[in-house]
């Protein structure tokens, strides 16, 4: 009986470890907001985005990132960070929201017509999948 219990406990433990390993390999479960904060500075996101202002304030250049998770879901944010130019061209509801917020901020002036991140920055600063997950986890802490 004792050996049978140990075998069950061991198989349960191994199943749990396998489950955790699977989550870590998927990326999202092992993303680290601290690493994301470091990347935010290293990748120079901080030059254009303010983390203390909401997305209705475009200072210094781009929308504030406070409460980002209330405006965009993880999947959309993941796609945006991977290829902002491609996502900008879709003109999906999230992009329309960004445009509307920008134009309101600018007092209705329609310049620039394209996203700085989609046309310039997204081509210069490339992020791998792990970096994207870390950045999203960091952005999700900004309240």
Per-residue pLDDT of the chain (143 residues; tens, 9 = 90+): 555 555 545 454 444 444 444 444 444 457 899 999 999 999 999 999 999 999 999 988 899 999 999 999 999 999 999 999 999 999 999 999 998 998 888 888 776 667 888 888 778 888 999 999 999 999 999 99
pTM, to two decimals? 0.76
Asked whether 98 and 63 are in contact (CB, 8 A), the reply is yes
SS3 133: helix
How many whole angstroms separate alpha carbon 131 and alpha carbon 77?
A: 12
């Amino acid at each position: 009986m004792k050996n049978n219990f140990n075998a069950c406990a061991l198989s349960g433990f191994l199943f749990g470890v396998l489950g955790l390993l699977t989550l870590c390999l998927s990326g999202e479960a092992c993303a680290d907001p601290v690493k994301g904060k470091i990347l935010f500075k290293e990748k120079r996101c901080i030059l254009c985005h303010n983390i203390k202002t909401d997305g209705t304030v475009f200072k210094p250049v781009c929308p504030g990132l406070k409460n980002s998770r209330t405006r965009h879901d993880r999947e959309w944010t993941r796609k945006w960070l991977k290829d902002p130019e491609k996502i900008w061209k879709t003109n999906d509801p999230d992009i329309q929201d960004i445009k509307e917020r920008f134009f309101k901020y600018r007092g209705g002036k329609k310049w620039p017509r394209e996203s700085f991140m989609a046309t310039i920055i997204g081509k210069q600063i490339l992020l791998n999948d792990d970096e994207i997950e870390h950045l999203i986890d960091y952005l999700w802490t900004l309240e």
